[in-house]
Amino acid sequence: PRYQRGDDSRVTLGYRAINSGMTLAVSMEHRLTGAEDYDQQTEIDGDYAKHVFRTHAQAGQTVSLTKLVSYHSSSQVPARELADRCHRTLDRARDEGIERQFREQSEWLESFWDRSDVEVGADDATQQAIRFNLFHLAQAAARAERNGIPAKGVTAAGYDGHYFWDTEIYVVPFFVYTSPHIARNALRFRYTMLPAARQRAAELAQRGALFPWRTINGEEASAYYAAGTAQYHIDADIAYAVSKYVKATGDEEFLAREGIDILVETARMWADLGFWRGDGPDKSFRIHGVTGPDEYTTVVNDNVYTNVMARYNLRAAVRGVENLERRWPEEHARMVARLGLEEHELEEWSSAADHMAVLWDETLGIHPQDALFDQRELWDLENTPAEKRPLLLHFHPLVIYRFQVLKQADVVMALFLQGNEFSDEEKRADFEYYDPITTGDSTLSAVVQSIIAAEVGYHELAYDYFLAGLFVDLANLHHNTSDGMHIASTGGVWAALVNGFAGMREYDGVVQFDPRLPVVWEHMTFKITVRHTRLRVTLRHDSIEFQVEEGGGVSLEVRGERVTVSGESPVTVPLDGQGPRIAGAPDPHAFHGTVRDDGTVMTASIPSMIDDEEIPT
Amino acid sequence: PRYQRGDDSRVTLGYRAINSGMTLAVSMEHRLTGAEDYDQQTEIDGDYAKHVFRTHAQAGQTVSLTKLVSYHSSSQVPARELADRCHRTLDRARDEGIERQFREQSEWLESFWDRSDVEVGADDATQQAIRFNLFHLAQAAARAERNGIPAKGVTAAGYDGHYFWDTEIYVVPFFVYTSPHIARNALRFRYTMLPAARQRAAELAQRGALFPWRTINGEEASAYYAAGTAQYHIDADIAYAVSKYVKATGDEEFLAREGIDILVETARMWADLGFWRGDGPDKSFRIHGVTGPDEYTTVVNDNVYTNVMARYNLRAAVRGVENLERRWPEEHARMVARLGLEEHELEEWSSAADHMAVLWDETLGIHPQDALFDQRELWDLENTPAEKRPLLLHFHPLVIYRFQVLKQADVVMALFLQGNEFSDEEKRADFEYYDPITTGDSTLSAVVQSIIAAEVGYHELAYDYFLAGLFVDLANLHHNTSDGMHIASTGGVWAALVNGFAGMREYDGVVQFDPRLPVVWEHMTFKITVRHTRLRVTLRHDSIEFQVEEGGGVSLEVRGERVTVSGESPVTVPLDGQGPRIAGAPDPHAFHGTVRDDGTVMTASIPSMIDDEEIPT
């Protein structure tokens, strides 16, 4: 606590966080109308302020209390100065009148729903739950101009308000296609963390920048590197979001001034972290000692997710620099000077990308999560009692890491984000292998599994996973909603709808659809904004319809066919079904007993579960 | 601080450690003689006590101050009670007189040197340094009846007084062969930690017992599992020391009452931690997700040191149980009931030991430190600047772990402790590979490298490593002697002398010698006690001589020939040289450019070393 001031008309508190030095002030005032007689009392203490009104109201009498609250925060400005800003905000709100506040918020929200609503032909509960999730995205990001979108939004103190890669992969894509200005703010926020990421890279003996696993001020706030800093993929996730944003919006100014620095510095990190193996046609670029999204297997070699995302990152940097040179030569020159970029670096990045190792296991016919993944035994999830879940709360990491068991989608996440790099057969084989050994102990998992289940045809499972994401907080499915909303999952719910059921992807700048409408829904209508054109998309079992709501039109693809949408008339594309339809779920025993490459047999087991009573004393 | 009391005659302070609850009291009193007139002043405070005498002494006048200090410590007894014990000790010392204290200590030390001295035909500095190291072993262990031998002995606060596996592998063997009663005390101290080790095993989902990496009260005190708890080999190290002790002393009573519990519970841990791979003749017992002694590579599969030591542990447990059943049937029955031992467990342990995987790399012709070791690039130690060492202070673990670089001997340690399991050719090949990539950033390293360098013939290098161990604290070679003596290294100095230069080993209960006397020494004389017989051993360039000093005699081997020593006459065995003699050191470049099994080439490099000035802001 740094500041406490106030009287009967207004009270203000100011704080500074001990470690980060970040500051916060909050001010409130009240107006009581309709009470003829009342007394009031104000109490202010270090971390405490209270304003009590007392009146004797009569039945039928209307007493109104108008409460105005203003918050200001900063990474540096003293709390006292923030307190002044709070006062000015309250002054303005009082002057303008409360009705104006209501009206502005209402307009803001109407505009949000116009751009973002997803309507489904289903029961009210499902529809309400969808909007509950979208609303939380709006709330978490509404004032993210300079402050980013934390993992719990503004709902509770879980994760100490920290930012994770969830933002870029689960939340930013929603805004890219519905509220690009919010996506830009979120990405600019990451840009402001670039100096700290450069410092962190140097600490890890890497060139370029290394973004932290969790942070409040740009510095890595996790001391547990195995599931934290070792997630080098975060660099690629951020580069991915930058690239998605620029392609969907055409905002090359952002690319030229800020985005390019992120792309270049992350590409540099990959080029330095990886190394070359072999010569001639066999040579490959390897990345060792990293952790993928799945935190139940850490510090491994050639994690497939990491490698394919790093490849995307390297190529995005090359494309970005080349594009800049061609179209914004002055900005290009400034960037080259600013970052000391050398010509040979682009060649290195291209070469590393072209030769990136993407492991393939011939025996299992899948992409192994990492170089040693198939050497592990399978964890017998079916026979793991419910009271031993989630695994991370009941087993030491050293135990979990020895098994083929996933906290969350990893290869399956790569199948989604880098879908054009995998064949349909590979996607199905990978999904059928990983789905049964994925615990879903992270809420980041269900929504991604829903998307790929839908794509490969497990439509019932896709819908189940969608519901698991949809109700994760409404039904408190992970028993920790009191720590705050899982904002990444709310973004994932939108992705499960639009990328999963509507089958939307973007590769090479072209937005495309290959729908998988759930059997139990009649239709689904949603909005997307692509290069300043807002479309209303209506998906039915036999067609998909595009209608321009704003802007000049856009060219899309539906199942490989080019579709141009412009003007006032909707464009309807007939659909021959909703892709493959496979009942049930992959068989959890399918790989038990498989003979591995080295001649050994895969078995499933559970580590010893020892009760205290069993231990001799 | 829990207790402060005193007056001009005596002051006493008592303490309790916050976390462990362990208690300590210290009491002192003084007697001033020869001063006719003096005044005294006593100050006592929470963590502070002072007794000041003032006198005006004349030239030629003798003033004597006799200071008596008594310490008592406990894991539970309140500090106030310990203070009473301190007083009783001081009372007794005062009653008996100070001369008796001096005499008893002198006798104790004379007896220690009679049992333990190592005399070399070399310069005084070397001889003094050897005795300095041996003295510190005596001091660290003298009062270890119930309190164990901490990593820093009683010399300073480094490592917070904690115990490590150093004791069992570096220190206990010295006492086994020179002061068996002290070795027994140290092992009994471990035995008292068995309940905590069982608890720890359960936390790690393992059956049996898992001893901690560092501890003060039996509980694991390290939160960094990668280089801490993952060192499962500690179980085998303790079982190894127990087994060595019993074989050298014949103390089957200790085995029957206490040692057997350690052997059984550690064997259980291995049987549960490892798992079976393959079928028929190819089947092997694997141990995944562990860290060997080398802390620059962590959480790996089938670490060779761990596997061969686990094999020894499993067999020692089988032998121990069988021996007990045959010779101490009542104690055997009690143990079976106490530990719930089942017949099939012995079969499992034997089978796991017989099929233990011990990896071999055909391409490099060495035992790889672990399953993925050869996949790492070599760290270019030659070109790593001195100011970037030790590596652990200048590079993040994630960086170090990606390279073939060792903090300390690992496979080479196995070559020493399990020497009969490796051929001479394997030992030389392994040593020549690992020696150049070992930093010696741990003081546990040099002494072991000295022993194996001596064995395989690098006699100059063996001597250099011996000196590095000999002077580690005298010359403050690791720049941290202010944190306390490296007691493990002092034990390692004795091992480098007796196991290294004199080439002593014990396999299957037989003590054997294959000497490697340094060229620069004329001779070397040391004492060992085997099964109650104390021998004086004199090694010369052309002979080794054994003389019984105490006890009835013992049977030994010198280079494969049986030698029986008894009676009063020395037995002299002529020696044809001192084993192979290879000049210089293994070539650090020998393996650069080697084509690996997967067709790739081994290169040596250094991670980026980025200065702050290089980072764009």
CB contact under 8 A, A616 and B340: yes
Helix (H) or strand (E) holding A322: helix A304-327
Contact (CB<8Å) B401/A203: no
Nearest residue to B414 via CA among B370, B472, B457, B468:
B370
Q: How far is A349 from chain B (nearest CA, A)?
A: 17
Q: Does A402 lie at the interface with B, CB-CB under 8 angstroms? A: yes
Q: What is the pLDDT of residue A617?
A: 63
Single out the residue of B140, B177, B143 nearest to residue B494, CA to CA: B177
* Widest pairwise Cα distance in chain B: 91
Bridge-based pairing of strands A510-513 and A561-565 is unpaired
Take residue B454 and report the two structure tokens written for it: 């001596």
pLDDT value at position A144? 81
Degrees, nearest 5: CA angle A547-A550-A554: 60
Which residues of chain B neighbour A282 with C-beta distances below 8 Å? 599
B122's CB contacts (< 8 A; 6+ apart) are B520, B521, B522
Write out chain B residues lying below 8 Å of A340, CB-based: 616
Of the residues A402, A605, A609, the best mutation for testing chain B's interface (the one with the most B CB atoms within 10 Å of its CB) is A402
Structure confidence by residue, pLDDT tens digits, B526-535: 999 999 999 9
Residue B615 is predicted with a pLDDT of: 77
Report the candidate in A241, A105, A51, A99 with the shortest Cα–Cα distance to residue A165: A241
Pairing of strands A377-379, A403-404: parallel
For A608, the closest chain B residue by CA position comes to B205
Hey, what are B397's tokens?
């673990």
> Quick one: tokens of B271?
């049987």
* pLDDT tens string B126-176: 999 999 999 999 999 998 878 889 999 999 999 999 999 999 999 999 999
Q: Determine the Cα–Cα distance for residues A571 and B116; give it in Å rounded to an integer.
A: 96
More confident call, A148 vs B336:
B336
| Among A residues 171-230, those touching chain B with beta carbons less than 8 Å apart | 195, 198-199, 201-207, 225-226, 229-230
B595 touches chain A (CB under 8 A): no
Q: Do B299 and A198 touch (CB under 8 A)?
A: no
Task: Look at chain B and count its residues.
Answer: 617
Interface contact A398-B225, CB threshold 8 A: yes
| Residues B566, B200: Cα–Cα separation, whole Å | 47
| Distance from C-alpha of A461 to C-alpha of A585, rounded to nearest angstrom | 6
How does residue B193 score in pLDDT terms, banded at 50, 70 and 90?
very high
- Tell me which chain B residue has its CA closest to the CA of residue A617: B195
> B417 to chain A, minimum CA–CA distance in Å?
26
Interface residue of B402, B596, B597, B612 to substitute, partner A, most A CBs within 10 Å: B402
Q: How far apart are CA B171 and CA B141, in angstroms?
A: 9
Q: Please tell me the distance from the alpha carbon of residue B275 to that of residue B284, in angstroms, as a whole number.
A: 8
> pLDDT at position B151, please?
95
Q: Using the 8-state DSSP alphabet, how is residue A520 labeled?
A: T
- Answer yes or no: are the C-beta atoms of B201 and B269 closer than 8 Å: yes
Residue B496 clears pLDDT 70, i.e. is over it: yes
**A516 with A579: CB under 8 angstroms?**
yes
Q: What is the pLDDT of residues B211-232, one digit of tens each?
A: 999 999 999 999 899 999 999 9
Segment A102-118 shows an average pLDDT of 97
Amino acid B60: pLDDT: 92
Name the token pair of B392: 């652990």
Residues of A in contact with B605 (CB under 8 A): 275
CB contact under 8 A, B376 and A288: yes
Using alpha carbons, select from B240, B227, B296, B294 the residue that is nearest to residue B270: B240
- On chain A, the residues whose CB falls within 8 A of the CB of B230 are 398
The answer to whether the beta carbons of residues A308 and A353 sit under 8 Å apart is: no
Alpha-carbon Rg for chain B in angstroms: 26
Tell me how far apart the alpha carbons of residues A298 and A286 are, in angstroms, rounded to a whole number.
Answer: 16
Nearest Cα of chain B lies from the Cα of A204 at a distance, in angstroms, of: 6
Within 8 A by CB and 6+ apart from B138, the residues are B109, B112, B116
Residue A439, pLDDT score? 97
Question: Annotated catalytic, B432?
Answer: no
- Write down how long chain A is: 617
Q: Are strands B377-379 and B403-404 parallel, antiparallel or unpaired?
A: parallel
Cis amide bond preceding B390, omega within 30: yes
Could you say which residues from 372 to 391 on chain A have a Cβ atom under 8 Å away from some Cβ of chain B?
372, 375-377
Measured from the Cβ of residue A321, the count of other Cβ atoms closer than 10 Å reads 23
Average pLDDT rounded to a whole number, residues B367-375:
95
pLDDT bin (cut points 50, 70, 90) of residue B491 is: very high
Chain B residues with beta carbon closer than 8 angstroms to that of A230:
398
* B377-379 and B604-605 strand pairing: parallel
Mean pLDDT confidence for A506-511: 95
- Please spell the DSSP secondary structure of B604-615, one letter per residue: EE------GGGS
* Contact criterion met (CB < 8 Å) for B205 and A282: no
Please name every residue paired with B523 in a beta bridge, in sequence order, or none if there are none.
B540
> What's the pLDDT at B610?
82
Asked if B584 reaches chain A (Cβ–Cβ under 8 Å), the answer is no
Report the pLDDT value the prediction gives residue A458, as an integer from 0 to 100: 98
Instruction: State mean pLDDT over A575-594.
Output: 95
B418 touches chain A (CB under 8 A): no
Q: Pick the catalytic residue from B295, B331, B345, B432.
A: B295
CB contact under 8 A, B396 and A230: no
Identify which of B480, B411, B485, B475 has the alpha carbon closest to the alpha carbon of residue B448. Answer: B411
Q: What is the CB neighbour count within 10 angstroms for residue A584?
A: 8
Considering only alpha carbons, which residue of chain A is nearest residue B287?
A402
- CB atoms under 10 Å from CB of A519, counted, come to 11
Within an 8 Å CB–CB cutoff, is residue A399 touching chain B? yes
- Cβ of B396 within 8 Å of Cβ of A225? The answer is yes
Nearest CA in chain B to A391: B205
Residues B29/B68, Cβ–Cβ less than 8 Å: yes
Q: Are A403 and A384 in contact (CB under 8 A)?
A: no
Phi and psi at residue A505, in whole multiples of 5°? -140, 165
Over residues A218-249, the pLDDT tens digits come to 999 998 999 999 999 999 999 999 999 999 99
Of A288, A398, A616, the CB nearest to B198: A616
Q: The tokens of A96 are what?
A: 């303008």
Mean predicted lDDT score pLDDT of chain A:
95
Interface mutation vs chain A, best among B276, B301, B608, most A CBs within 10 Å: B608
Residue A598 and residue B278: Cβ atoms within 8 Å?
A: yes
Determine the Cα–Cα distance for residues A171 and A181; give it in Å rounded to an integer: 13
* pLDDT, tens only, A153-209: 999 999 999 999 999 999 999 999 999 999 999 999 999 999 999 999 999 999 999
Judged against a pLDDT cut of 90, whether residue B434 lies above it is answered with yes
Label residue A279 by pLDDT band (50, 70, 90).
confident
- For residue A300, list chain B residues with Cβ-Cβ distance below 8 A: none
Locate B258 and state its tokens: 């206490």
Distance from the Cα of A202 to chain B's closest Cα (Å) equals 6
**What residues 515-534 of chain A have any CB closer than 8 A to a CB of chain B?**
none
Cβ distance A443 to A496 under 8 Å?
no
Q: Do A198 and B615 touch (CB under 8 A)?
A: yes
Helices (H) and strands (E) in chain B — how many of each? Answer: 20, 20
Interacting residues of B297 by C-beta distance below 8 A, sequence separation 6+: B291, B369, B370, B373, B376, B401, B406, B410
Q: Is the pLDDT of residue B617 over 70?
A: no
Burial class (CB in 10 A: 0-12, 13-18, 19+), A568: exposed
| Amino acid at the residue A60 | G
Task: State how far residue B216 is from chain A, nearest Cα, in angstroms.
Answer: 19
3-state secondary structure of B571: strand
Q: Is the pLDDT of residue A118 over 70?
A: yes
B contacts of A615 (beta carbons < 8 Å):
195, 198-199, 202
Q: What is the pLDDT of residues A510-553, one digit of tens each?
A: 999 999 999 999 999 999 999 999 999 999 999 999 999 999 99
B592 pLDDT more than 70: yes
Question: How far apart are alpha carbons B447 and B470 in whole angstroms?
Answer: 9
Least CB–CB distance from A204: residue in B272, B372, B399: B399
**Closest residue, chain B, to A298 (C-alpha):** B299
* DSSP tag of A521: -
CA distance A596 to chain B (A): 9
Q: Do B282 and A612 make contact, defined as CB atoms within 8 angstroms?
A: no
SS3 at position A510: strand
| A contacts of B399 (beta carbons < 8 Å) | 204-205
CB A148 within 8 A of CB A162: no
Which of A201, A338, A399 lies at the smallest CB-CB distance from B205? A399
- Nearest Cα neighbor of A484 from A175, A160, A107 is A160
* A616 shares contact with chain B (CB less than 8 Å): yes
Which of A168, A295, A345, A432 is catalytic? The answer is A295
